[in-house]
Amino acid sequence: MSESSATGIRPLSREQIDAYHQKGFLLLPPAFLPPASLATVLDAVPEILAQEGEHRILERDETTVRSVYGPHRSHPSVDSFSRLPALLGAVTQLLGDRVYIHQSKVNVKAAFAGDRWEWHQDYVNWLDLDGIRSPNLVNVAVFLDEVTEFNGPLTFIPRSHHNGLLAGTDSTTMPVGYEGDARWVATLTATEKFQIDRAELRRLAGENGMVAPKGPAGSILLFHSNVLHASMPNLSPFPRKLLIIAYNTVSNPPTNTANPRPEFLASHETSPLEPAR
């Protein structure tokens, strides 16, 4: 990978790159990005959450917002944030190629009401539903609130991405509370469509432990598309919002062109991103 292949900026050290590839995730402090960049995203969040449409998924109570997909497509501040030179430089270092955004979302995890995310690997859906042939994608999760042990932090099984796609059971029914929704909604709810085998989960957790990275708003959490992760319900009085941007290499585009998911779930535009100025 040449310096000119992305931004010319290589913000990650060799030790950070090695840690990411070894564990499957890497937590960076808020100082990694300019403070003003987070402020512009935070200013846009109320409008993002208020915009109704099929891209907005509610919790099972049919009132609380769970996720809003595709904010980089509809909000200029999120688009600019996603193209910050430091972010593009970091994901390019990890992936070794120029990138586009396969998916973006704001995951809300509302105070008292935010439901769980069961144990899963992101890549299984991107392979089966979008036809992405390689798991060489990076999720960038930006903490929009402080993440603590009480408000439903992402929890990882380190090194689990080295095991590839894990065995499990793929449900053919819609989760309770979402029976009338489009079929693709089944992958976005508290009940995962693809259930990882619990014996395998116990084995991997027993061998590698579990880690829940925490930090102040503005922290950046990068994680591999195959690393096992989950999060508990938010029973605290404090919100836990994340902006998650999934970067994919331009050489690894979706191949499901006959029956693609909506653009806000799986981008059909795979041109390499240019850094924001």
Query: What are 117's two structure tokens?
Result: 């995310």
pLDDT in tens, 202-245: 999 999 999 999 999 999 999 999 999 999 999 999 999 999 99
Rounded distance between C-alpha atoms, residue 120 and residue 234, angstroms: 18
Rounded distance between C-alpha atoms, residue 55 and residue 265, angstroms: 8
pLDDT in tens, 104-150: 999 999 999 999 999 999 999 999 999 999 999 999 999 999 999 99
Domains (ranges, CATH) in the chain? 13-249 (2.60.120.620)
What average pLDDT is seen over the chain? 92
**Can you spell out the DSSP letters for 179-246?**
TTS-GGGGGSSSS-SEEE-HHHHHHHHHHH--B---B-TT-EEEEETTS-EEE----SSS---EEEEE
pTM over cut 0.85: yes
